[in-house]
Amino acid sequence: MSALPNPLRFDLQQIADWIPPGAHVLDLGCGDGSLLSWLRQHKQCSGYGVEIDDANVLTCVRSGVDVIQQNLDAGLALFADRSFDVVVLSQTLQAMHNTESILREIARVGKQGIVSFPNFGYWRHVVSIVRGRMPVSRQIPYQWYDTPNIHLCTLKDFEKLADKIGLDIIARAAYDNGAPVRVLPNLRSTLALYRFGVSI
């Protein structure tokens, strides 16, 4: 990964590294707009964010990020086919009600997609379940009764779904609390990132 000035959160740095200069980007669940702001400043990218939270929308507007306030579960009907070079869904996939539908929509409106999600297969999570408790960690910080995460998965689960719906995985990165994981990522990583195109 190249060194980036004004560093982003580690996973957003990896995403930014995968996005080419001048790309037209759609950032779904864009939060405070920090990724789009960085891409605009350092890679001359353009694009839009989609965000539901009022405070985050206001932060985006104040920083000059073009943002649309919308619930992602409503779909991406606002956007035409292949209208973006890259569509990003960062650490939001696990909170979507219809995972397959949002991935298909990303593939429809973008030439490429990038998604990241907490890895439920991480060994400490497995140990927690064996001990009879749902895992709580930095990547999955909620108790079972108040979590927004409704579709947790492992790296292998995601890859199987990607194959089912015709996503062509171009690159994968895995991290354990910010450190890259290259050996046994399905067991040793807390966060997974995938870059994909469309194979059908």
In the chain the domains, ranked by start, together with CATH numbers, are: 10-198 (3.40.50.150)
Per-residue pLDDT of the chain (200 residues; tens, 9 = 90+): 444 445 799 999 999 999 999 999 999 999 999 999 999 999 999 999 999 999 999 999 999 999 999 999 888 999 999 999 999 999 999 989 999 999 999 999 999 999 999 999 999 888 988 888 887 887 778 887 878 778 889 999 999 999 999 999 999 999 998 999 999 999 999 999 999 997 65
Phi, psi (degrees; rounded to nearest 5) at 188: -110, -5
pTM above 0.85, yes or no: yes
From residue 162, give the alpha-carbon distance in Å to each of 18, 159, 165: 19, 5, 5
